[in-house]
Structure 1
């Protein structure tokens, strides 16, 4: 199979680093962590998170749409609208049947579920909202995006835990390769910063307990890391075939050139310490892109800031690439947004390739001696990037890797 490049012609981001792509990218480049004490989590053992700052769904989407949809959908819709505008596309004029939507999501509308469960217990059956199901189903984030943007082509949600956003972009590329669509809006969204969910992650031992200094809590690859900081957010990419983008004279930021996926088949929540599944997914993505390991200049790592994940991933990267690629994890700034993380990080990888700059890994003060890779820290690193990978791994051992390449000449 010959290499198949897909053009990224638009990006939309709504993250703890900022509302909008420009704001998010600027904060990520600055290495300024977003984690802060969260009033919603007051009284819990872990009472801090990474929330999207200053996002007003009613102002962005209008009162009626904001009322009838959940926060994870709010974030997705805002990101999708920005991405479409960035791509120079107009939903009122496109052929909606040729436009697909693929969005990753892990947990759905947990805020509404928790709130309505309280209503059910306190007021009985008659008090429960009839909007509960359409607000909380994971499928609705893609459904509402299609309704908002008149996209009547294939409509899918991928649920591969923390790899969901990356999986969505990989599946979207296959829809374009197979001729099912001419444009696909692909990415991920998550908004599950609720007391029940955050406390559950804390009970599992997955979250940092650095309550006295939350801004320093997410510290990928650092010797003193003790868990991730839970986050919310969304990122959507507009994907088109390169020839189609050029035909309409659309600027192309970078290309998605390869996709690989695998399963550890090892444990419900822990990665396989051998790194076999991680290496398998990276090898598959490189083969799909027709590239060798020595052609990768940059790795946007999953880098969760958990003790086991970071060492396992670093060993796999060292085995495959040696010490050459410049590695970063943006989770030091953004925290871990679960089903949206892979999409946010894919967007950052596209921006890194486009601009030739790798963001620093925030809070990396003393690199774990077991992590023998070139992790960018302190300040952004400028370098030409011909090809990069963005890696995402999730509970259930689900792995997804994207290859992002510079725009081909000609």
Structure 2
């Protein structure tokens, strides 16, 4: 890496300004609404209280019985029929059901009504990592056991990644740009970053941005276990996800969906809506080092954090809190800890919410962005569950045991994915 400032990688994906629009000063971008479904709860407040309580959600899962890893973090009591309507739910994969429900929550939180807005000025950007795993495996089993005539005629429209953004747009009557992002475990954060760009360039006035994943299926769990990525602590699932701890042995798979409503701050103020937080900066890089392992020196992650700080006009003194990617894997946690310690030597508070929620892959960047927004809003940092003895080299200012009150003017949310994808988001108090 050179010492010169570079533009974020996401800049190459920007769609360009509206002709004649002045872009010399980027507008402030506000987070005006949140929606979440996670293993800690099926709405924002329940999830927030669960994460702040610090109680892990990992438990054995019937569908994984007999596998080397038979536990995960699943969403409790999600009623898709009630959340999005039976006719809609029956033709969608679970991952799509979840993100539509999250989008509806977020729009309600933002005080926005699809019946009254200019739908051509509303964009949808959603992230996913592995896609419609439930539908893939279920329909394969039907083909094998019952024959081709029993395969659903809706299968193709259920499994296409683009269907996720398309179905959210359909449910929310959004006719602006819509697209999917697939940057592995950074997908949700990438969606938010690109949403910021669409607003800054005048392509739209409202962005429904987020991520989703539901893939606790036998094949996916087996594949991740074979890769060596998952914890094997089957005798004590609740203690399995332990970010930055000496005894960590892999991540715990989770499912989730989260959506952030993004608007230009001046537009939110004009309609009398106070933002939860401001999206102050974004930075994206790629390691180009290994299919699954991070660069051993964290070069891409460091650069993404540097770019984000510069983009947000923040110094290391300004950052009070980092929501770490913190997967509970040996390599990721060690590298990330070194990156945070190097770039933020004043020792901001650090936590990983994966100790409670597990790792929801394509959704995790959006979930953790939403939780970072809530930390900024409520001046409260959740604890890192199961962090009892920080590993050598992971000597950061971790929040453990109980949530910690702290005024947070600026915070970072880190997302790092397989393939070397690095995305960092900065949030400020409004």
What's the offset of the Cα at 1:46? 0.2
Deviations 1:28-49 (A, max 9, x none): 0000101001001000000000
What's the offset of the Cα at 1:122? 2.3
CA distance in 1 between counterparts of 2:369 and 2:85 reads 29
Is 2:150 the counterpart of 1:127? yes
Q: Counterparts in 2 of 1:74-89, with a 5 A limit?
A: 74-89=97-112
CA distance in 1 between counterparts of 2:86 and 2:334 reads 46
Is 2:373 the counterpart of 1:346? no
What's the offset of the Cα at 1:59? 1.9
CA distance in 1 between counterparts of 2:28 and 2:282 reads 11
Instruction: Give TM-score, length-normalised by structure 2.
Output: 0.94
Stretch moving more, 178-187 or 57-66: 57-66
Aligned to 2:254: 231
What's the offset of the Cα at 1:323? 4.6
What's the offset of the Cα at 1:83? 0.2
Structure 1 residue matching 2:204: 3-state secondary structure: coil
Aligned partner (choices 94, 114, 117) of residue 71 of structure 1? 94
CA distance in 1 between counterparts of 2:27 and 2:401 reads 36
Contact residue 4 and residue 257 of structure 1 kept, 8 A: no
Aligned to 2:232: 209
Contact residue 356 and residue 382 of structure 1 kept, 8 A: yes
Task: Give the root-mean-square deviation of aligned CA atoms.
Answer: 0.9
CA distance in 1 between counterparts of 2:412 and 2:26 reads 16
Contact residue 317 and residue 346 of structure 2 kept, 8 A: no
Contact residue 124 and residue 207 of structure 2 kept, 8 A: yes
Aligned to 2:80: 57
What's the offset of the Cα at 1:117? 1.0
Is 2:363 the counterpart of 1:363? no
CA distance in 1 between counterparts of 2:413 and 2:236 reads 29
Stretch moving more, 76-85 or 61-70: 61-70
CA distance in 1 between counterparts of 2:229 and 2:358 reads 13
**Where do 4+ consecutive residues of structure 1 move more than 6 Å?**
none
Aligned partner (choices 170, 174, 182) of residue 147 of structure 1? 170
Query: What are structure 1's unaligned runs of at least 5 residues?
Result: none
CA distance in 1 between counterparts of 2:392 and 2:111 reads 47
Q: Counterparts in 2 of 1:366-381, with a 5 A limit?
A: 366-381=389-404
Stretch moving more, 351-360 or 124-133: 124-133
Structure 1 residue matching 2:398: 3-state secondary structure: coil
Stretch moving more, 80-89 or 123-132: 123-132
Contact residue 104 and residue 159 of structure 1 kept, 8 A: yes
Q: Counterparts in 2 of 1:9-408, with a 5 A limit?
A: 9-407=32-430
CA distance in 2 between counterparts of 1:147 and 1:96 reads 11
What's the offset of the Cα at 1:126? 2.1
Stretch moving more, 169-178 or 110-119: 110-119
Instruction: Give TM-score, length-normalised by structure 1.
Output: 0.98
CA distance in 1 between counterparts of 2:253 and 2:78 reads 18
Deviations 1:253-285 (A, max 9, x none): 001010000000000011111100000101111
Structure 1 residue matching 2:246: 3-state secondary structure: coil
